Amino acid sequence: MTSSKPDSSAEDNHNRHQIRAIFDASHFTNDVGIVYVDSGRGWCRTELTAAERHLQHSKYIHAGVISTMADQTAGAAAFSVAPGQTNPLTVEFKINLLRPAVGQKVICHAQVLKAGRLITVVESEIFTQNNEESKLVAKATVTIANAA
């Protein structure tokens, strides 16, 4: 996935404020510990500091945490290109868990692959980070409907 650079246009700054407000109002996402980092037209980045509560029985970061992060971040990326006052809603997603997720931090970068009037397709890449070492642990393809 190619990462986009932040754009400082007034529209992107407005979108950043709206996306931050969506994350602030998402109680479940806040309970999980997912934090909005930044976004621009067609992309979003989130982070999570891994804690004991995020681990499954084998001490890996739970797939549910990884999936939630991929979905929420993809929805925000889709929102950044959504037409008018639409509300992006996930209608389908597929995730590939590539390796056990172990790390101090989890980072997700979502990038819009194709934005349409009714449907937007987004790819999320999820990495774990230990000190300076980063590993790709999952990839998701998320289909978002632009609901009224």
pLDDT in tens, 106-129: 999 999 999 999 999 999 999 999
Strand, helix or coil for residue 45? strand
User: Domain-by-domain residue ranges, the chain?
Assistant: 10-147
- Does the structure show a pLDDT above 70 at 136? yes
Radius of gyration of the chain (CA): 15
Q: Calculate the alpha carbon distances from 83 to 86, 114, 119, 145 in Å.
A: 6, 13, 11, 11
Express each pLDDT in 38-80 by its tens digit. Answer: 999 999 999 999 999 999 999 999 999 999 999 999 999 999 9
Bridge partners (DSSP) listed for residue 136: 127
| Contact call for residues 70 and 48 (beta carbons, < 8 A) | no
- For domain 10-147, give the fold: Thiol Ester Dehydrase; Chain A (3.10.129)
Distance between CA 53 and CA 61 in Å, rounded? 9
| Contact call for residues 119 and 143 (beta carbons, < 8 A) | yes
DSSP 62: P
Express each pLDDT in 52-61 by its tens digit. Answer: 999 999 999 9
83 or 46: whose pLDDT is higher? 46
Residue that has been written with the tokens 């999570």 in this structure: 48
Express each pLDDT in 1-35 by its tens digit. Answer: 544 444 456 666 768 888 998 899 999 999 999 99
The pLDDT value given to residue 48: 98
